[in-house]
Amino acid sequence: ESTSGSMDGGGGPPEPSEGMRKRNLSASWKLSQTLLGEGEEDEPPILEELGINFSHIVSKTRAVLWPRRSKLDQEVIDDSDFAGPLIFCFALAAVLLLKGKVQFSYIYVVFVTGLLALWAVLNLMSMKGIDIYRTASVLGYCLLPIVLLAALSLPLDLTGAWGALFVPLTVFWCSNAAALFFVIILQADDQRWLLLYPVMLFYTGFALITIF
């Protein structure tokens, strides 16, 4: 019985001591403070060093959902981060994966090809010019309505009447938001509708990937 009792008592893993719990909590607290930039006064947050600004991501996302010039901050427009675009690209691929379509390579090829073409066109149309990083950031953020279209394609068949309604609306939504960003960056207010055409071609490619 004593042998059985000793085996029962020592069979489970040892519980962590109180000191170990405090050290684990302290390490977790320091990590969260460092990520948020609330640690040492002269120590910048890790997310800021990586170029990830959640307030800018939220502001750009809202600007895409409801594109209005009065709601756009110049600091947010000048921030050419890739966190939001990467999230939306992976979200689009994940939603399409739910439909049984593995489209990671198509999304990558269409985005890179369209990015290079649009970057060249934008610099030819404006004397001010734009760098490729900011171009990629704008195009990636304005991909959000395409992600919503892909999610809508799960319960609905967009190859029929529903597609004739939602696909042009979504492409125009994306293109209008992106053109607004580019107009502000390039200071080309008189060329907004001219900029809209090549941008619409870019998002039409993603709409076709979503539908077929």
Q: pLDDT tens track of the chain, all 212 residues?
A: 444 444 444 555 555 566 565 555 555 555 555 555 555 555 555 555 556 677 778 888 888 988 887 767 777 777 788 888 999 999 999 999 999 988 899 999 999 999 999 999 999 988 888 999 999 999 999 999 999 999 999 999 998 899 999 999 999 999 999 999 999 999 888 888 888 999 999 999 999 999 88
- What CA–CA distance (Å, rounded) separates 114 from 174? 14
Cβ-count burial 65-88 (b if 16+ within 10 Å, e if not): eebeeeebeeebbebbbbbbbebb
CB-count burial class (<10 Å; 0-12, 13-18, 19+) for 156: middle
Token code pair at residue 192:
């907004």
Token code pair at residue 143:
């991909």
What would the DSSP string read from start to end of 39-104?
A: SSTT---HHHHTT--HHHHHHHHHHHHS--GGG--HHHHH---SHHHHHHHHHHHHHHHHTT---H
CA triplet 87, 118, 68: central angle to 5 degrees? 65
pLDDT at residue 154, as a whole number: 93
pLDDT at residue 6, as a whole number: 45
pTM of this prediction exceeds 0.95: no
Cβ-count burial 102-130 (b if 16+ within 10 Å, e if not): ebeebbeebbeebbeebbeebbebbeeeb
CB-count burial class (<10 Å; 0-12, 13-18, 19+) for 144: buried
The residues, any chain, with a CB within 8 Å of residue 29's CB and separated by 6 or more, are none
